[in-house]
């Protein structure tokens, strides 16, 4: 049997998991690896065509392929990403299943406590998240292996790109807009900036449109609707352009998330050289050494205010290439990949 690998994921959206898979394919391409893996989505939630287009536009066909009806007997490695029903419904393949977890929602990773004995292993995208998962598992049944997320290429900013139209110091966020991401807290903190520091920044939230209604309602309720700009999710192939435009306009990336398995959007903003104002959680603390990362405690608006003042004063233009090389470059991912099977 050929050395074949497939990744199984429940939903094809435009989220972090899909981005991780595309980044892995790009890493294999950049490193010259003669390797292709398959991907199977159980359901298309509007992101499949975008996913396939990215593969085509970036010439990744030799490294990643979407399959509709996989024959599991053909694979000797089956990575199942936060799709527990698939694991339980296919017990005959347990010995070659890796349960890969990316969910920052504790209730959504509870399935790891009930996965069958004898699976190939459990995978996490960062060291701190691996330790979190291990602490939640009964009797430490499994050691959790790390398969680090990667940003395969260090970006080169094209200064000919039109900057975003907001005044320097505006805040922006890219990602889900739900209770775990805690995006409404950013508006609360912005209101505090207005009242205490006479600052009135625009907050640009980029995310899934059906999730934006509650945020719009909250902004109106606290009198911050004039400060909120809502943009729909950005296709994968346009994310880099948006981040460059935000960096050229003097934007500040902000996240009030309560938990993250890694923080891929944060990493993407970080290498563009923008300052970051982030909630004080383990995933965000891992980025502090890059410089220009200012932490705050959720719910403590003076803490947010001080972080914002520090970010506004930060005038370093470095894109943090040293941090990328030491933490996010593709050879780190490949090293973790090889360790899984050796």
Are both 333 and 305 inside the same structural domain?
no
Q: Are residues 214 and 84 in the same domain?
A: no
Residue 127 lies in a domain: yes
Judge if 53 and 175 occupy the same domain: no
* pLDDT of 2: 57
Query: Domain tally for the chain?
Result: 2
56 in a structural domain: yes
Q: How far apart (Å, rounded) are the C-alpha atoms in residues 207 and 225?
A: 17
| 209: confidence class by pLDDT, cuts 50, 70, 90 | confident
Q: Containing domain of residue 40, as a range?
A: 5-153+329-340
Instruction: Evaluate whether residue 220 is within a structural domain.
Output: yes
120 & 218 share domain: no
**Can you tell me the mean pLDDT for 173-191?**
95
* Residue 158 included in any domain: no
Shared domain for 35 and 135, answered yes or no, is: yes
Mean pLDDT of the region 58-72? 97
Identify whether 64 is part of a domain: yes
Question: With 0-12 CB in 10 A as exposed, 13-18 as middle and 19+ as buried, what is 1?
Answer: exposed
Q: Is 162 domain-assigned? A: no
pLDDT of residue 138 exceeding 90, the answer is no
Please report, for the domain that includes residue 254, its CATH number.
3.40.50.2000
Q: Are 329 and 302 in contact (CB under 8 A)?
A: no
Give the pair of three-digit tokens for residue 312: 């506004």
Residue 294 inside a domain? The answer is yes
Residue 318 pLDDT grade (very low, low, confident, very high; cuts 50, 70, 90): confident
Contact 252, 311 (CB under 8 A): yes
Q: What's the pLDDT at 1?
A: 36
Find all residues with CB under 8 Å of 248, minimum gap 6, and list them.
157, 159, 161, 163, 164
**Share above pLDDT 70 across residues of the chain, in percent, rounded to a whole number:** 99
In which band, very low, low, confident or very high, does the pLDDT at 3 lie, cut at 50, 70 and 90? confident
Q: Same domain, yes or no, for 37 and 70?
A: yes
Asked whether residue 333 falls in the same domain as residue 292, the answer is no
Residue 252: predicted pLDDT: 97
147 and 237 within one domain: no
β-strand 37-44 against 5-12: which pairing, if any? parallel
* pTM, two decimal places: 0.95
Check whether residue 187 and residue 302 sit in a common domain.
yes
pLDDT digits (tens, 9 = 90+) for 256-294: 999 999 999 999 999 999 999 999 999 999 999 999 999
Are 57 and 127 within one domain? Answer: yes
Q: Does some domain include residue 166?
A: no
Both 141 and 39 in one domain: the answer is: yes
- Can you give the pLDDT at residue 211? 80
**pLDDT(127) > 80:** yes
Query: 142 with 187, same domain?
Result: no
């Amino acid at each position: 049997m050929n050395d074949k690998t497939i990744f199984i994921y429940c939903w094809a959206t435009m989220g972090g998991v899909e981005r991780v898979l595309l980044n892995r394919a790009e890493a294999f391409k950049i490193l010259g690896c003669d390797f292709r893996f398959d991907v199977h989505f159980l359901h298309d939630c509007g992101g499949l065509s975008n996913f396939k287009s990215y593969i085509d536009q970036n010439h990744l066909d030799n490294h990643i392929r979407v399959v509709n009806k996989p024959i599991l007997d053909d694979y000797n490695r089956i990575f199942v990403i936060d799709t527990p029903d698939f694991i339980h419904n296919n017990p005959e393949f347990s010995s070659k299943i890796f349960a890969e977890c990316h969910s920052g929602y504790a209730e959504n990773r509870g399935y790891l406590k009930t996965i069958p004995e004898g699976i190939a292993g459990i995978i996490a995208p960062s060291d701190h998240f691996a330790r979190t998962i291990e602490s939640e598992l009964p009797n430490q049944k499994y050691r959790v292996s790390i398969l680090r997320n990667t940003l395969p290429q260090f970006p080169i900013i094209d200064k000919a790109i039109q900057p975003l139209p907001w005044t320097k110091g505006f805040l922006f966020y890219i990602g889900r807009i739900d209770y775990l991401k805690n995006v409404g807290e950013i508006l609360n903190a912005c209101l505090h900036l207005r009242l205490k520091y006479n600052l009135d920044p625009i907050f640009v939230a980029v995310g899934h449109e059906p999730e934006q209604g509650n945020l719009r309602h909250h902004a109106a309720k606290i009198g911050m609707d004039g400060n909120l700009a809502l943009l729909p999710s950005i296709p994968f192939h346009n994310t880099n352009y948006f981040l460059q435009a935000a960096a050229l306009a003097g934007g500040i990336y902000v996240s009030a998330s309560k938990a993250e398995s890694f923080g891929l959007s944060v990493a993407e903003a970080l290498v563009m050289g923008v300052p970051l104002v982030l909630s004080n959680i383990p995933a965000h603390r891992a980025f502090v050494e890059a410089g220009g990362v200012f932490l705050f405690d959720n719910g403590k608006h003076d803490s947010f205010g001080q972080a914002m003042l520090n970010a506004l004063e930060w005038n370093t233009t470095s894109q943090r290439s040293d941090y990328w090389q030491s933490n996010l470059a593709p050879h780190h991912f490949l090293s973790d990949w090889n360790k899984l099977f050796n």
